[in-house]
Structure 1
Amino acid sequence: MCAASVLVVDDSATMRALIKHALSRDPEIVVVGEAANPFEARDKMKALDPDVVTLDVEMPNMNGIEFLEKIMTLRPTPVIMVSNLTAPGAAATLAALEIGAFDCVAKPSARGNMFIELPGLIKEAARAKSGMAKRRNAPSRGRSAVAKTARGAKLPDLIAIGSSTGGVEALMQVLAEFPANCPPTVIVQHLPAAFTGSFAARLDRVSRARVFEAKGGEELLPGHVYLAPGGGRHMVVKAGTRPSLSLIEGETVSGHRPSVDVLFGSVAKNFSGSHCGVILTGMGRDGAQGLLEMRQAGAQTLGQDEDSSLVYGMPRVAHEIGAVERQLPLGRIARQIFSGG
């Protein structure tokens, strides 16, 4: 395997040295350059074409969020944000994930924390580079028109959605088109535990439906969207005369907990009404097998297409194993669910 090449961007020379030291111990990673600001980083990205960029949030002249947006628009590259997870930092980090950052790590609060998780994330991000779509048309950030139900169209009784890298932005766009009376909707988006609550609140602001971070035990109600909390338990749909949600312990599945596969599988097994499964942008294969189970149980199954996916991993695997009934650009997914067009 070729070493993953990394460009480290931070206005602090000390922090750049800490990151470089943490990465230099891994023989599968090479730091090919450093930059103290986005302007220097832009030139080095052109000259070095790194596999991955680590990027600070707070920098002079142009902050990391603004620079990230330029990267994802003009030169899509896996970016790992390196920031302090204070309350303002968490908001900035969520904004970065919405734009398309691969992941986020905290700066060390003491010398004992030397970015233990960073090398693994770098290698995962490097593997994702080849699957990053160029996104010929950047999705609109404005409030979308509400998807309208075609006359005579039969809506599903439940919608289940799974996503990972790039999914924060994708879910923002899809849920902005959900009407207030949408079928109950359950979502697994791979996110650190610290961010799912604030992400649910952000989705709630852009969607006419009500969006919540699931707590477990909720009855599935129309007009309600339930986001699985990050970091520790799987979210499943429980059978019953009044279907509900449960958060359960268990091993990681497809490398994740909560897992899209587990959610989708529980829908296929436990939900007796009509249902629709949607798999969006993300690296790996989580959700592919579960979506196949949903299709085999009679569900409508949709997958995001390659051109509109930030990382065409999860949708690709689902398509290849026959789990996806229809592939669509991101902007058409809500319309397909609600109007069949």
Structure 2
Amino acid sequence: MYTVLVIDDSASMRRVLKDLINSIDEFEVIGVANDAYEAREKIKEFEPDLVTIDINMPKMDGVTFLRNLMRLHPMPAVVISGESVRGNDIFDDGAVGFIPKPETGESMDSFSERIKDTLLSLTFLLKRYTLKKPKPLKAVVSYHNNTDYKVHPDEVIPLRASKFPGTKVIAIGSSTGGVESLLRVFKRLPNDLPPILITQHIPYGFSNSFAQRLNDNSDVDVCEAKDAMVLERGHAYLAPGNMHLTIEKYGNELRTKLLDTKKVSQHKPSVDVLFRSINNSVGGSAMAVMMTGMGDDGTIAMKELFDNGAYTIAQNEESCVVFGMPMKAIQAGAVKDIVHLDEIASYIIDFSRGKRK
């Protein structure tokens, strides 16, 4: 049985959704909320497997709440809203499903079927999520202001930057908008590149399916990273949705190492943790790519890489869904080149062939 929290400012719609969802085998509504702040408390209290979110809500709109939720407590979320124009955008913000509210003249049976079809299609993702479900929050988390929960990368992975040339490695960090943006990059990459490490802020349980999607749409062999994998050319390794991805030297090999520790720069996986480990292992032989995303995760360690002679690029504002992470890295003086999304692949290829450094 998968538990659901319904978030909608309309009391009648909350009742309708509760009844419709409860009529579906395998699903049970364990709570309802009329705005983002009540939802925050209900999430901490009930730890639901799934939330449904309306876009038009008082105090904080549903899109802002969804983005904050994915940063602070990632979990499966389905948007149920009358704003069908936002249907594509909300997937970039972290939603796993979108259901338009019933239009004038649509029968309740038709609306019920649409809800049922969407929720049942997500059960394979929910199974993965419940296996990796985070423990109940003990701290009082603010979805309005998350600055109180910022942990510096030093608390997880101390800086021991390598000063000697090492194996070329490419590291990519991305967040909001990164799923589709990474697909556009990987479709253009050949299979003879140095190892690629990716930290994409992604909800628990969804990273494996996203890695498979990247793999199916690229000549690069892409997988969800597991512990102690030997890095190989032509391969890419995606951080699991609830673990930090790092690499370490073992003799002449580089291997992945997953860390199940606290969030860093408000995220787990964290771009700062990945970039710091890249600096520690190969230093100036690395390339770091900062792509679309909200916040500043990765800025600290990218500046360290830049200072150590690594080649660093950031996605330009025009092609970003959210110009947060790239902007912060640029402002910190951590970036050598600012690149349009559709040019990132060619810059990676040039770096691998010694044309950029």
TM beyond 0.5 = yes
Q: How does 1:97-116 map to 2 (within 5 A)?
A: none
Query: 2:205 is paired with a residue of what secondary structure?
Result: helix
1:120 deviation in Å?
A: 6.9
Contact 1:163 / 1:188 at 8 angstroms: preserved in 2?
yes
**Alpha-carbon distance between aligned partners in 2 of 1:63 and 1:51, rounded to the nearest angstrom:** 12
Show CA shifts across 1:56-102 (max 9, x none): 4689xx997x8512x57xxx996856779967226899xxxxxxxxx
1:123 deviation in Å?
A: 3.9
Contact 1:90 / 1:195 at 8 angstroms: preserved in 2?
no
Query: Residue 236 of structure 1 is aligned with which of 231, 236, 246?
Result: 246
Q: How does 1:62-211 map to 2 (within 5 A)?
A: 68-69=87-88, 88-89=121-122, 123=144, 157-211=168-222
Letter in 1 for 2:121: P
**Alpha-carbon distance between aligned partners in 1 of 2:143 and 2:320, rounded to the nearest angstrom:** 20
Query: Residue 283 of structure 1 is aligned with which of 281, 285, 294?
Result: 294
Letter in 1 for 2:228: G
Letter in 1 for 2:316: D
**Alpha-carbon distance between aligned partners in 2 of 1:279 and 1:90, rounded to the nearest angstrom:** 33
**Alpha-carbon distance between aligned partners in 1 of 2:248 and 2:267, rounded to the nearest angstrom:** 20
**Alpha-carbon distance between aligned partners in 1 of 2:347 and 2:11, rounded to the nearest angstrom:** 43
Query: 1:162 is paired with a residue of what secondary structure?
Result: strand
**Alpha-carbon distance between aligned partners in 2 of 1:168 and 1:77, rounded to the nearest angstrom:** 7
1:19 deviation in Å?
A: 4.8
**Alpha-carbon distance between aligned partners in 2 of 1:279 and 1:92, rounded to the nearest angstrom:** 28
Query: Residue 271 of structure 2 is aligned with which of 260, 272, 277?
Result: 260
- Cα 1:248–1:277 change in 2 (3 A) is same
**Alpha-carbon distance between aligned partners in 1 of 2:182 and 2:314, rounded to the nearest angstrom:** 13
Match of 1:331 in 2: 342
Letter in 2 for 1:234: H
Match of 1:271 in 2: 282
1:295 deviation in Å?
A: 1.1
Contact 2:284 / 2:310 at 8 angstroms: preserved in 1?
no
**Alpha-carbon distance between aligned partners in 1 of 2:233 and 2:314, rounded to the nearest angstrom:** 23
Larger radius of gyration: 2
**Alpha-carbon distance between aligned partners in 2 of 1:202 and 1:178, rounded to the nearest angstrom:** 15
- Cα 1:281–1:208 change in 2 (3 A) is same
- Cα 1:336–1:178 change in 2 (3 A) is same
1:20 deviation in Å?
A: 4.0
- Cα 1:172–1:330 change in 2 (3 A) is same
**Alpha-carbon distance between aligned partners in 2 of 1:316 and 1:234, rounded to the nearest angstrom:** 23
Contact 2:93 / 2:177 at 8 angstroms: preserved in 1?
no
**Alpha-carbon distance between aligned partners in 2 of 1:63 and 1:92, rounded to the nearest angstrom:** 25
Give the number of equivalent residue pairs.
Answer: 263
What is the percent sequence identity of the aligned residues? Answer: 33
**Alpha-carbon distance between aligned partners in 1 of 2:285 and 2:10, rounded to the nearest angstrom:** 49
**Alpha-carbon distance between aligned partners in 2 of 1:171 and 1:332, rounded to the nearest angstrom:** 12
- Unmatched tracts of structure 2, length 5 or more: 1-6, 19-30, 41-53, 67-76, 99-115, 131-136, 147-166
Give me the CA root mean square deviation. Answer: 4.3
Contact 1:52 / 1:79 at 8 angstroms: preserved in 2?
no
Letter in 2 for 1:329: H
1:337 deviation in Å?
A: 1.8
Show CA shifts across 1:148-203 (max 9, x none): xxxxxxxx821000111111111111111110112110011111221000000000
- Unmatched tracts of structure 1, length 5 or more: 1-5, 28-40, 94-104, 107-115, 126-155
- The alignment's TM-score, normalised by the length of structure 2, stands at 0.61
- The alignment's TM-score, normalised by the length of structure 1, stands at 0.64
Contact 1:51 / 1:77 at 8 angstroms: preserved in 2?
no
Q: Does 1:221 align with 2:232?
A: yes
**Alpha-carbon distance between aligned partners in 1 of 2:234 and 2:177, rounded to the nearest angstrom:** 25
Q: Does 1:21 align with 2:31?
A: no
Contact 2:283 / 2:305 at 8 angstroms: preserved in 1?
no
- Cα 1:309–1:179 change in 2 (3 A) is same
- Cα 1:7–1:57 change in 2 (3 A) is closer
- Cα 1:267–1:219 change in 2 (3 A) is same
Query: 1:243 is paired with a residue of what secondary structure?
Result: strand
Task: Tell me whether 10-19 or 194-203 shows the greater mean CA deviation.
Answer: 10-19
- Cα 1:9–1:309 change in 2 (3 A) is farther
Match of 1:102 in 2: none
Query: 1:336 is paired with a residue of what secondary structure?
Result: helix
- Cα 1:79–1:170 change in 2 (3 A) is closer
